[in-house]
Amino acid sequence: MKFGKTNREVEVNIPTKAALFRTIQDRLKQRSGFALATLNLDHLTKLPTDNAFLAAYRAHDLVVADGRPVIWLSQLAGQPVELMPGSDMIVPLCAICAEENRPIALIGSSDAALNGAAKALKARVPGLEVAYIHAPPYGFDPQGAQADDILHDLATSGSALCFIALGAPKQEIFAAHGRKFAPNVGFASIGAGLDFLSGHQVRAPKIMRILALEWLWRAAQSPRRMMPRYAKCFAILPGLALRAIRQR
């Protein structure tokens, strides 16, 4: 299903978890790289005005739905897709890497968070190898010379799958850049997922996630940063709903 304004749409092309896991396992077996994006409502507020973000999204091989509003819109359009938050995909994807004996890499956040996440993942996924960890400095340019150096090190580390925790749109732009400079590596943009694993951020309780109230939890944790973001998200919902009805 396609989401967004005309001429600036992006498509969720992997509708189910089963399809995602099968596709990524096949890519790992073939030693073929990819870029995975998790589309949410915040991304849909940025895509109409951010050309670099839109180009990066369109360079991704795999796009899944992250966020209840995206799921509701797909249902409204009669093209339902499964909910696949990036944070929930980390452990299952690591399990596939361990099964295929392929190492992973972690990029983003902070050294403490990445090392904590690596420790947590190795405890939860027996046999998992973390081959590369890097926390870029503040102001990091995802398409600059420093990004090229990181991608060179990543490509030579033996990592098959790289989790990127830089936030949107930086992580998606870096992943698209990585498809050119490290074509045999898979990139998965997962936002705060590594911070959750390491305990550097606290995710909403499961009951709030089930009730589609994770946004409220995040707003309460960081109101200055999150409330303007969610206001923009709510503002675009009527237009997106109308487009979904037309797609139906």
Residues 32-70 have pLDDT tens digits of: 999 999 999 999 999 999 999 999 999 999 999 999 999
Token output for 214: 């994770």
pTM listed for this prediction: 0.94
Cα–Cα distance measured from residue 229 to residue 217, given in angstroms and rounded to the nearest whole number:
14
Cα–Cα distance measured from residue 222 to residue 3, given in angstroms and rounded to the nearest whole number:
28
For residues 14 and 20, the answer to whether their CB atoms sit within 8 Å is yes
The per-residue b/e assignment along 73-104, b for 16 or more CB within 10 angstroms, e otherwise, is bbebbeeebbbbbbbbbbeebbbbbbeeebbb
Find the mean pLDDT for residues 219-244.
Answer: 91
Total structural domains within the chain: 1
pLDDT above 90 coverage of the chain, percent? 83
State the pairing for strand pair 2-3/130-134: unpaired
For residues 6 and 46, the answer to whether their CB atoms sit within 8 Å is no
Residues 109-146 have pLDDT tens digits of: 899 999 999 999 999 999 999 999 999 998 899 999 99
Cα–Cα distance measured from residue 12 to residue 92, given in angstroms and rounded to the nearest whole number:
20
As beta bridge partners, residue 127 has: none
Domain assignment of residue 27, given as a range = 2-247
Cα–Cα distance measured from residue 37 to residue 199, given in angstroms and rounded to the nearest whole number:
23
